[in-house]
Amino acid sequence: MNECPWKLACVDCSAEYSGLAVRFRCDCGATLDVVHDLNLLKDGLTLNTFDRRLASKQIWDRSGVWRFSELVLPLDPKEMVTKPEGNTNLYASARLAEYTGIESLLLKHEGENPTASFKDRGMTVGVSMAKKLGMQSVACASTGNTSASMAAYSAQAGLRALVFIPEGKIAYGKLSQALAYGAKTIQIAGDFDIAMQLVEQVCADQGIYLLNSINPFRIEGQKAIGFELLQDLSWEVPDWIVLPGGNLGNSSAISKGLGELETLGLIKKLPRMAVIQAAGANPLYTAFSTDKDLVPVQNADTIATAIKIGNPVSWRKSLRGIAATNGLVEQVSDQEIMDAKAQVDAAGIGAEPASCATVAGAKKLVERGVIKKDEKVCGILTGHLLKDPDAVVGYHKGTLDNIESNFQNAPISVPAELEAVLKAISD
């Protein structure tokens, strides 16, 4: 008898595998889902179960991922590698309401996770599974945040960590984290898409556990962004969830989780999901707009290096989730991203460039009449402002290529004299 309460199922064909199989693709080549037996949960699991845990002192209840463990992965608390993660704030801002034209805009700041990005939610589950399966080494390709998170969680778990990053193309905050947490850091002379292909091959050859979001357990953890967001809202479902799309694990995860809540009857409707891509790295936008399979973008390019991805692994899952939520895909230019970022930062919230595609995209969707001004919109800010200080300083100094600093706050240099300082602060 298979004692594992979940199984793995192909997103494309009808193949199924043991929930404890170490595999990341179906024999047909498509990606895999973790499938829970929701019938087992139908009796007994209520939203109150999750709310009660908010008052608990146990680390697994305090985690904004493991608090929802029945829907994420029913591990024994002893098996959980947790810091704990989640419990991120939801911000309102008059400045951003005015900027986007959305009266009720709330931003959930996933940059407030332990390693300062949303990746920690998936990583706590992925690294816990690596331990459970007896793996010694873990690896990922990354535009920076996944590697930072994997390096931290694997250090905590005592696993050997290998990260593959596109050389010179990840933000400094993220590179620093991978080095600091002790991951062996391989800089590939190529882009993320090549690094991703290589890491899949290396993991298959060497028996190393792959912790990109192609790993279906990463997706299970990331579902908790949606669960916690609804819990923050006292389980009132907003009209829209807006988030950036790169490798497309996050949009896949949030829609999967909310779909499961609906299947269980715990919520009565789904929010519409808007996935925002950078115009220079927009394969999902094109696939959605043309109603065709995804065609990879060669040499993807955007200042938002976190989402500089031309061949996203989870595109099928992402499109499935967009369809299930009656959602859509929008694209924004680097100029729109950086101006939105200046506004998010000046609101006192702050986030890295890719995160601010969310706000740029929400603004654009209002201008296009898709999002109505009086609808309730929740945006996800995926990473912390300090992940990419070069983008901030470059914008405010006016030194970024092909970007106008429309909301500039340039530093002022003065001689070390009182008179000069007084003059500088007088206007």
Among 382, 385, 392, 400, indicate the residue that binds ligand F0G (CB under 6 A): 382
* Burial annotation 173-210 (CB, 10 A radius, 16+ → b, else e): bbbebbeebebebbebeebbbebbebbbebbeeeebbb
Asked if 350 is part of the footprint of ligand F0G (rule: CB under 6 A), the reply reads: no
From 391, 400, 333, 393, select the one nearest 360 (Cα to Cα): 333
CA distance 399 to 392: 10
Asked if 280 is part of the footprint of ligand F0G (rule: CB under 6 A), the reply reads: no
CA distance 30 to 135: 23
Asked if 354 is part of the footprint of ligand F0G (rule: CB under 6 A), the reply reads: yes
What are the φ and ψ backbone dihedral angles of 186, each rounded to 5 degrees? -105, 115
DSSP class of residue 93 equals -
For ligand F0G, the closer CB: 264 or 357:
357
SS3 content of the chain, % helix, strand, coil (to 5): 45, 15, 40
For ligand F0G, the closer CB: 245 or 321:
245
Other CB atoms within 10 Å distance of the CB of residue 325? 22
From 340, 329, 347, select the one nearest 285 (Cα to Cα): 329
Among 19, 221, 226, 246, indicate the residue that binds ligand F0G (CB under 6 A): 246
CB of 307 to ligand F0G, least distance (A): 5
Asked if 385 is part of the footprint of ligand F0G (rule: CB under 6 A), the reply reads: no
CA distance 296 to 129: 30
DSSP class of residue 265 equals T
Q: Which span sits near ligand F0G by CB under 6 A: 37-45, 58-66, 180-188, 248-256?
A: 248-256
Asked if 248 is part of the footprint of ligand F0G (rule: CB under 6 A), the reply reads: yes
For ligand F0G, the closer CB: 62 or 383:
383
CB of 159 to ligand F0G, least distance (A): 18
Among 244, 257, 280, 310, indicate the residue that binds ligand F0G (CB under 6 A): 244
Among 250, 255, 302, 343, indicate the residue that binds ligand F0G (CB under 6 A): 250
Task: List CB contacts of 192: < 8 A, sequence separation 6 or more.
Answer: 141, 142, 143, 166, 169, 300, 308, 309
Site string for ligand F0G, 294-313 (x = CB under 6 A): ------------xx------
Q: Which span sits near ligand F0G by CB under 6 A: 49-57, 136-144, 152-160, 181-189?
A: 136-144
CB of 276 to ligand F0G, least distance (A): 9
CB of 379 to ligand F0G, least distance (A): 12
CB of 53 to ligand F0G, least distance (A): 26
Q: Which span sits near ligand F0G by CB under 6 A: 21-29, 199-207, 348-356, 391-399?
A: 348-356
What is the helix (H) or strand (E) element at residue 160, kind and residue range?
A: strand 160-166
From 262, 325, 222, select the one nearest 47 (Cα to Cα): 262
CB of 262 to ligand F0G, least distance (A): 21
Asked if 215 is part of the footprint of ligand F0G (rule: CB under 6 A), the reply reads: no
Among 69, 93, 215, 247, indicate the residue that binds ligand F0G (CB under 6 A): 247
Ramachandran assignment for 414, one of left (phi > 0), alpha (psi -120 to 50 degrees), beta (any other)? beta
Asked if 277 is part of the footprint of ligand F0G (rule: CB under 6 A), the reply reads: no
Q: How far is CA 359 from CA 19, 96, 200, 224, 351, in A?
A: 37, 8, 33, 21, 11
CB of 45 to ligand F0G, least distance (A): 27
What is the helix (H) or strand (E) element at residue 51, kind and residue range?
A: helix 47-52
For ligand F0G, the closer CB: 93 or 117:
117
User: What's the one-letter identity of residue 29?
Assistant: G
Among 355, 362, 363, 366, indicate the residue that binds ligand F0G (CB under 6 A): 355
Among 213, 215, 231, 311, indicate the residue that binds ligand F0G (CB under 6 A): 213
Asked if 117 is part of the footprint of ligand F0G (rule: CB under 6 A), the reply reads: yes
Residue 422, exposed/middle/buried by CB under 10 A (0-12, 13-18, 19+)?
Answer: exposed
Task: List CB contacts of 61: < 8 A, sequence separation 6 or more.
Answer: 53, 54, 67
CB of 189 to ligand F0G, least distance (A): 18
CB of 141 to ligand F0G, least distance (A): 7
Among 126, 144, 271, 321, indicate the residue that binds ligand F0G (CB under 6 A): 144
Asked if 352 is part of the footprint of ligand F0G (rule: CB under 6 A), the reply reads: yes
Token couple for 265: 């009857």
- Residue found by looking up tokens 């709330």 in the block: 106
**Contact set with ligand F0G (CB under 6 A):** 117, 119, 142-146, 213, 244-250, 306-307, 352, 354-355, 382-383
